[in-house]
Structure 1
Amino acid sequence: MHQCRCFDTLTENEKKLVEKNSVSISYKKGEVICKRGSFASHVMYLESGLAKVYIEDGVNTLVLKILPEKNLLGLASVSDDFKTFEYSVMAYIDSEILQIDIGTFKKLLVQNPVFAKEVIDIQNANSVQIYGRFFCLTHKQSFGRLADILLCLSDRIFKKDEFELPLSRKELAELSGLSSETVIRMLKVFRQDSLIGIEGKMFKLLDREKMKQISETG
């Protein structure tokens, strides 16, 4: 838990309070971690794994963000105006979630202003990332969208140019707001142009500058 900077601001007694009022739950790949509209009795901390945050209407799905490990979920529920989760979360891979009692989390926000500031900073960063997602989906063409997603995976999620990609082509398409067929065709073009390398599930970003250009102008 110490790898999320907000928890580093807690005193030893406050950390013990969190441990006493939380429970760790394992989720398999594809399992729903929380459902939009369900009662929010806790804040969640993704101890390990990878998850998608999304909203859906039964037909369409909009992925708001990809969440790597050591991140918080359900922060909106600390407000008295939000009694239910405003989005759904699903595990992309096997994941561990620490559920922290909402009352305990609120108590820490009140009694520890440094902790509260860190949580606000995290919430603001989440908002900025979602704003970027909406801009990408509404203003960029297909190649720009896919390049943006691949750069996001490299820079924000795995933090390296070569990594094992746990997402299927269908999930990549969902992230990009494109069809699976379109994503498969575009990945082939990126490979032919020596922008990326793909070997099984291994992905490698070969020409970062060119991908940035496509992301910005696509």
Structure 2
Amino acid sequence: MPDFLREKTQLEYDFLNAKECLNMLTEDEKEILVQHKTDLEFKAGETIVKRGAVVNNLLYVTEGLVKLEVVNDHKVSTLGLVQSHSFVGLICCFAFKNFDFTAVALENTKVSFIEIDVFEKFIKSNGEFSMALIKHMSGIANGLFHRMTRLSQKNIDGALSILLLDFAKIYISPNYTLPVGRKELAEILGYSKESVINTLSKFNKEGILNVVDRKIEILNIKKLEQISILG
């Protein structure tokens, strides 16, 4: 695995892996959590939770990949991607009585629905868990701020480079199969399908990528990273 992916993956793991927060629970609390959670499986493309639903549970992804969507001025935008061992929209769940986002499975995904009342009791009674959760939520918020700021300043070349590198970090490999088609890629980035297709074709011709349908092989990570910065 290239050093770029190894370093980035470890950095993100330290801040964004919610499993470390759950490890701060006592054995009794872990047993209570297990008793008050429901595990469900979703196929690729299925909606996990819809915007407007009552927040009765926190959603924890044990396996798979999830896309978060928000609506602003009647326009749907992708807020981010959630991978395994992460909560879905955690920074929003304690602020509102209803989910302010929609979560969709990008691949076959397993999710634990944890009763929010039980979780709140852990926050009040376990200081170490609460502090770990605050640090975790701060890491998520910081990542979202940087992601939204970066993407807003990029052309299609830069934005697509960022997303392709994100997938490389998620799958911990420069070679992977995209979990979405060209249309979904365009929706995530806020560009047209044609722009995404043309940019992938250009990257392929320039030897930066080898693209076959949804299969991506990053041939020149340094060049792709440079485009993600300057594009």
Q: Same fold (TM over 0.5)?
A: yes
* Native 8 Å contact 2:68 2:89 kept in 1: no
* Alignment: residue pair count: 215
CA 3–105 in structure 1, closer or farther in 2 if over 3 Å, else same: closer
SS of the residue 2:81 aligns to: strand
SS of the residue 2:54 aligns to: coil
1:209 positional shift: 1.0
2:43 alignment partner AA: K
2:109 alignment partner AA: S
1:204 alignment partner AA: E
Is 1:38 aligned to residue 53 of structure 2?
yes
**Cα RMSD for the two superposed structures:** 1.8
Is 1:175 aligned to residue 188 of structure 2?
yes
**Aligned position for 2:127:** 113
1:31 positional shift: 1.3
Identity %: 28
1:200 positional shift: 3.7
* Native 8 Å contact 1:53 1:87 kept in 2: yes
**Aligned position for 2:81:** 66
SS of the residue 1:143 aligns to: helix
1:48 positional shift: 0.9
1:49 alignment partner AA: G
SS of the residue 1:123 aligns to: helix
1:171 positional shift: 1.2
CA 77–106 in structure 1, closer or farther in 2 if over 3 Å, else same: farther
**Aligned position for 2:44:** 29
**Quick one: distance in 2 between partners of 1:97 and 1:105?**
16
1:153 positional shift: 1.2
- Provide the TM-score with structure 2 as the length reference: 0.87
SS of the residue 2:211 aligns to: strand
Structure 1 unaligned segments of length 5 or more: list them.
Answer: none
**Quick one: distance in 2 between partners of 1:46 and 1:166?**
16
SS of the residue 2:59 aligns to: strand
**Quick one: distance in 2 between partners of 1:37 and 1:121?**
27
SS of the residue 1:84 aligns to: coil
1:100 positional shift: 0.3
1:137 positional shift: 3.0
SS of the residue 1:9 aligns to: coil
CA 74–192 in structure 1, closer or farther in 2 if over 3 Å, else same: closer
Summarize the alignment of residues 1-218 of structure 1 with structure 2, pairs less than 5 Å apart. Answer: 4-56=19-71, 60-76=75-91, 79=94, 81-155=95-169, 157-218=170-231
CA 58–35 in structure 1, closer or farther in 2 if over 3 Å, else same: farther
